[in-house]
Amino acid sequence: MRLIKQAVTSVLLSASLIVVPCSLQAEDLIDHSSNVFKFQHTLAENGNVHAQYKLATMYEAGDGVNADIEQAKHWYTRASAAGSAPANQRLTYLEVKQQGYTASQHKQWLASVKKDAAAHNADSTFLLAQLYSQGIGVKKDLAKSLELYDQVAILGSADVEKEITEIQAQIAQAREAKVAERMKREQEQARQLAEKQAQKLAQEKNKQQQKIELAEAEKLELEEKRRRYEAVMLKIKMEQEMIDQQQAKVTGNEVANIDDEF
């Protein structure tokens, strides 16, 4: 009887995952998600572990219902208590997001997620992709996250088109930021080089100006020396003329020309 009940439940769960035709409008998709939520909620209340896990993921993602982390934790807790390893992993994930990752406390949890992801477990692979995209417990690596999301898509266990698109957008944005940073750095280097060249030209111009000013100063000094020399010579000549005049008066001779004496 228990096997029959499990078989019926499996069929019902499969029915809830039927692909919605692409022709449906957005409103139809919302109604479909809401119906799936109601169906999973009914099964979960009846103790179905798979439905409890599915319901928790819907609360966490806001799929078919308003996002409610506390409700998600509630149903993850119930599924985990019933033996669901994926539910236990996601429950810890939500706690880590709220309280932070501590290696001593969460090292074993992270190791189990990586181990299950390596074994191609879709739920663990999806979770590990989230950890790499957010840098929780591991170094943030968008390329690694995208690779893991691609694996989830290949496994076909979940629709991760939205996550893949978001990661691709983040990678493109990071590349653009890196290019912009490189251009900014190159522009700064060019500015510094131009500034150095301008300073060098200014220094050379200043040296040339100093040379010109020095030459002008030397020329003025030379002219001043010549002026002083001429003034001295004129004074000597005038003094000599006065002496000659005085001697002429004494001797009665004509005044000798100073130029003749020279």
What is residue 63's DSSP assignment?
S
d(CA 116, CA 87): 13
pLDDT of residue 9: 41
d(CA 38, CA 230): 120
The residue-averaged pLDDT of 148-159 equals: 89
> Between these two residues, 33 and 256, which has the higher pLDDT value?
33
pLDDT of residue 150: 95
d(CA 76, CA 85): 10
The residue-averaged pLDDT of 250-254 equals: 72
> Between these two residues, 115 and 235, which has the higher pLDDT value?
115
- Enumerate domains of the chain plus CATH numbers: 1-99 (1.25.40.10)
Percentage of the chain exceeding pLDDT 90: 70
Please report how the helices 122-134 and 103-118 are oriented relative to each other, as an axis angle in degrees rounded to 10: 130
The verdict on pTM exceeding 0.75 is: no
d(CA 245, CA 255): 6
Please provide the average confidence, as pLDDT, over all residues in the chain. Answer: 85
pLDDT of residue 72: 96
pLDDT of residue 31: 57
d(CA 191, CA 197): 10
Nearest to 61 by CA among 160, 165, 169: 160
